Amino acid sequence: MGYGGYLIKVGNYTVPFDCILASTFQSPLLGQDKDSYNDDNGKLHRTALKNQVLKAEWQTPAMNEKKFNAFMSNINKQYVEQRREKKCLVTAWCPEIMKYVTMHCYVPDITPIVAYADEKTIEYDGWRIAFIGYGGEIL
């Protein structure tokens, strides 16, 4: 399956393009090793594991309160475990393998940046959001 017209889905929520600064979106597959080492001659001995980790991240654009609340509400609704774990099923476009990868991921700490606030409104600067996979075999 090739590119399907979106960069990332979180659960059943397709993240709209206007919530992603496209030039910042990245979704590499991270390799994992077990007990790899360099010998006395400096030669690397690797045990590369079958399981890889998806890491999808991007910078959001600035958002007003209404857009921010809608975006975060849709993300929060997708958590499949306890809220504090922030685990969700993510499907992201992976350019390296030219296909989508689906994997359970967690969301590291979210730190939106307040750009402006007064008694009536609040606005946010762009900020980073990421989804880091629990790992799995990529078929």
Query: How many domains, in total, are found in the chain?
Result: 1
Is 15 inside any structural domain? yes
Q: Look-up: residue for tokens 């397709």?
A: 14
Q: Which of 98, 85, 71, 99 is nearest to 132 (CA)?
A: 85
Does the pLDDT of residue 47 top 70, yes or no? Answer: no
Average pLDDT of the chain to the nearest whole number: 91
Is 132 inside any structural domain? yes
Is 70 inside any structural domain? yes
pLDDT band at residue 46, thresholds of 50, 70 and 90? confident
36's tokens: 């790899």
Q: pLDDT over 90 for what percent of the chain?
A: 73
Q: Output the CA–CA distances (angstroms, integers) from residue 31 to 68, 97, 128, 137, in the order listed.
A: 33, 13, 22, 10
Is 1 inside any structural domain? no
Is 79 inside any structural domain? yes
Name all contacts of 116-122 with Cβ < 8 Å and 24+ positions apart: 121/64, 121/65, 122/65
- Position 82 scores a pLDDT of 67
- Position 32 scores a pLDDT of 66
Is 39 inside any structural domain? no
